[in-house]
Structure formats: structure tokens, C-alpha cells
Amino acid sequence: MKFLKLFVAILVASFAVLGPVRAQEQATTIVVPFAAGGGTDVYVRMIADEMTQHGMPVIVANKPGASGIVAASYVARARPDGRTVLVSFLGILANNTVLFNKLPYDPEKDFESVTQIAVQPTILVGRADLPYHDIREMVAYAKANPGKINRGSPGASVLSNLGPIYFEKQAGISTTYIPFNGDSQAITALLGGSIDIYGTSITSTLSLIRSGKLRLLGVMDAARLPQVPEAPTFKESGFDIEASLRYYLSVPAGTPKTVVETLNRAVNAAIADPALIAKARALGMEPKGGTPQEMDHLIKADADRWLPVLRSLNLPKT
């Protein structure tokens, strides 16, 4: 009898351990190419929670580094069953081909499009103690103090790095480039005084801007941000530049069309939820979905616009 009780106890314990393991094996993993805690990561986790609540278990894994190459390579090699999904952006899907001599993945051949998930403009933020308060004042300061501004970046190919570089070329100034593996590290450095300015999105900086810990210098969009309406656009400051950050989901090439369609429906349903939309907009993220075909069109349109700009900068290849 004692032996039987012991056997039953072991069996129950085994199921308790194996249950979560098997559940995790069946879950879809969304791979974020930035460190945990940044704006994109927070938003993707909102989507993952919404999808999980509606019957599709989703977990989030962070694989930052090398302008998205670490995450892209990981997903490109994953089994094409729809259970490994990449948060992609123009850098991964186009810009890296210009910035790197040899990529361990092929942007055109190694991925299938699922859907766009959000859009927001690039912004430039700075420390609250800086001697300049907006773009015009920053340009004047940079010209009077060459080499004095340190600019952080979440990755060489990310538009929130390329937008500021393009702006600097227009303005005739230069900053010292300091790379980071995503928003969270860069913002920590910004608050600690290691860098002066940072190209990013409102998602990861809104609370710090509202609390006065960071200063929003300018918005790279046609209109001001409703979350911070007092901050001017770059166009208002005399610089003709817009840089929309678009976020997508991609899966390994060869993923069955039916699986892609299932993912597309689940994601679009999640980002259409009114509660999620309200939370996302409060962070500064604008949920925006669509079809795989629409995603392909957006990528091509942005690549056609930004690749010539990127090549004109003559940045050294890695």
C-alpha cells in the first residue's frame, strides 16, 4: 500500500512538471529583437496576452543584438510551423543588406509576411539638463560645440537611428554615435548622463517625458503627437523629414499558407480589441494590422524610400 501511494505521488508530480512543459512546447513564441522592457517589447507582450486570453497561447522571447540580426537568424532557422514568429522591421527586412557585408539570413528568401502590427513616428529625446530645448536650439549648440553631443542608437539599421543621421546631414552637424541593444539600455544611459540624445519612439519614453526626466526635442512626422502636443515636429523646425517606425510579424519561409492565415487572423483580432487599443495609444503606439500582401507593399514602399537615403550616407559596412 505504501508503495502504491508513493507511485501515485510520483505520477502526480510528474504530470505537474510535464504539464507546463508541454503547454510551453505548444505555445507560439514571438521573438523580439530588442532587450526586454523597451517600448516594442511592452507592446508585443500586450498582444501576446490578448492572443493567449483568446485561446492561442503565446510567449515572448527577447533576442537583442546586431541590428536585429540575432533574432532574425534565430527565426530564419526555426521550424516553419508557425510557432516561432519574428517581430520584424525595415532594418531586418531591407536596411541590413546595405549596412552589413554578409548576413546570416536572406531577408527576401527566409521569411513569410504575416501582418503589420503597429506604426509610430521616430522622435528625438534628450536629457532634461541639456542647454537646448528643441531641434533648432540643438543645431545651434552642435555647430557652436562640435563633437560635444553623444547620440545613442538602438541599432545601426533601425529607422530611429537612420532618421537622426539623415537629419544631421540636412542640418550640417554631427554627433558621436553610441550603439545599444534596445531602448531600455539606452534610456538608462540617457538618464545616467552617459549620452545626451537618443532617437527612439514615444512608447518607451512617454512617462519620462511627462515626469520631466527627459525632454522631447522633436517629432519626425507630419503632425505633432497627441500625447505630447507641445513638442514640435522636425518640419516645424525647418527640416523636411518624416520617419515612420513600422512593426511587423514574420515567420520562417515555407510556413504553410493556412498557418500564416490563422496567425494573421489571431493577431488582427488581438490588435482590434478596444481595451488593447486604448492601452497601446496611452503608451504612444498606434495598433495597425492588415494582410500579408499589404505588409509586403509597405515594406517595398519604405525600402524604395529609405534604401537610397541609406546608401547616400556612405556608412561603412560591418
Check whether 258 has a pLDDT greater than 60.
yes
24-119+246-312 CATH: 3.40.190.150
**pLDDT band of 203, cuts 50, 70, 90:** confident
Q: What is the pLDDT of residue 181?
A: 76
- C-alpha cell at position 19: 504539464
Tell me the mean pLDDT in the region 237-251: 94
Could you tell me the CATH superfamily of domain 121-220?
Periplasmic binding protein-like II (3.40.190.10)
User: What pLDDT is attached to residue 180?
Assistant: 87
Cell of 9: 505521488
pLDDT digits (tens, 9 = 90+) for 127-147: 999 999 999 999 999 999 999
Paired with 119 in beta bridges are: 246, 286
Range 240-251 average pLDDT: 94
Instruction: Enumerate residues 6+ apart whose C-beta is below 8 A from 36.
Output: 62, 184
- Report whether 198 contacts 186 (CB < 8 A): yes
Q: What does DSSP say about strands 58-62 and 214-220: parallel, antiparallel, or unpaired?
A: unpaired
Using DSSP, state whether 213 is helix, strand or coil.
coil
The dihedrals phi and psi of 253, each to the nearest 5 degrees, come to -60, 145
Domains 24-119+246-312 and 121-220 alike in fold: yes
pLDDT digits (tens, 9 = 90+) for 45-71: 999 999 999 999 999 999 998 889 999
Domain map (residue ranges) of the chain: 24-119+246-312, 121-220
pLDDT of residue 210: 94
More confident residue, 180 or 137: 137
Determine the pLDDT at residue 25. 55
Angle between helices 135-144 and 159-171 (to 10 degrees): 60
- Tell me if residue 89 falls in helix, strand or coil: coil
Specify the residue for cell string 510557432: 83
315/318 Cα distance (integer angstroms): 9
